[in-house]
């Protein structure tokens, strides 16, 4: 096999790597930035929303950074507005978090639901896991301004897709850089 053919093969890894890199970044962003379905402050203990298509959704808490949150005091419950059936909420396995310089979001629950009209209620109780709830109870010493803390419902994707995005990004980066560098030095490696 000629060095020129080997060099071409290595350079072909670059566009493939770029495609994988872009795909992985899109998957990762989709895990954090699903379309917003409902956004209510904790002061408003109920909210209604309509799902136009069946799918997977997630419940997020949005709060100012470095402040106590009310998630240890309230538990979200979702009911079908037509049948009053309670939708089963699953704790978020990844506990995904995202933030900017003044506020952050944390995924609390995920659920699957068919297209219909739903009611979100914030009931007394804890929306946190055992360790998080104990930590929040130990740290909560003052009052919390509930008007600055929000519950959001967002369109979501299976969490396995978010986990798969990380190796896809790594493989895409390695293919892009490796293909370019090995393509440049192919004549020295295979001469």
Q: Cα dist. 73→68, 137, 153, 184 in Å?
A: 11, 9, 18, 59
Return averaged pLDDT per consecutive 10 residues of the chain, 191 residues in all. Answer: 86 94 91 87 91 91 80 85 92 76 86 94 73 59 75 87 91 94 86 71
Query: What pLDDT, on a 0 to 100 scale, did the predictor assign at position 144?
Result: 74
- pLDDT confidence of residue 135: 60
CA angle 147, 150, 156 (to 5 degrees): 170
**Whole-number pLDDT of residue 142:** 59
Q: Spelled out in words, what is the top-level CATH class assigned to the domain 35-156? A: mainly beta
Could you tell me the two tokens for 121? 């209620």
Residue 148 confidence (pLDDT): 85
Determine the pLDDT at residue 140.
56
Q: Where are the domains of the chain?
A: 1-33+162-191, 35-156
DSSP classification of residue 70: G
Question: Within a 13 Å sphere around the CA of 1, how many CA atoms are in the beta-carbon half?
Answer: 9
Distance separating alpha carbons of residues 136 and 129, to the nearest angstrom: 10
Return d(Cα 116, Cα 131) in angstroms, integer. Answer: 34
Measure Cα distances from 165 to 99, 156, 161, 162, 173 in Å.
19, 14, 6, 5, 12
């Amino acid at each position: 096999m000629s060095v020129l053919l080997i060099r071409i093969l290595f350079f072909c890894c670059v566009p493939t790597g770029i495609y994988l890199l872009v795909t992985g970044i899109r998957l990762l962003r989709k895990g954090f930035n699903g379309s917003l379905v409902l956004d209510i402050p904790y002061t408003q203990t109920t909210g209604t929303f309509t799902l136009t298509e069946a799918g997977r959704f997630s419940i997020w808490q949005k709060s100012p950074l470095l402040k106590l949150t009310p998630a240890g005091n309230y538990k979200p419950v979702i009911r079908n507005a037509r049948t009053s059936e309670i939708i089963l909420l699953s704790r978020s396995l990844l506990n995904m978090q995202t933030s900017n310089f003044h506020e952050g979001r944390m995924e609390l629950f995920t659920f699957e639901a068919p297209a219909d009209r739903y009611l979100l209620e914030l009931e007394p109780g804890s929306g946190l896991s055992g360790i998080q709830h104990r930590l929040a109870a130990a740290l909560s010493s003052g009052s919390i301004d509930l008007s600055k803390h929000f519950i959001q419902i967002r369109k979501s994707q299976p969490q396995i897709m978010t986990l798969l995005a990380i190796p896809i990004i790594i493989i895409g980066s390695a293919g892009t850089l490796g293909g370019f560098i090995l393509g440049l030095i192919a004549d020295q490696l295979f001469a």
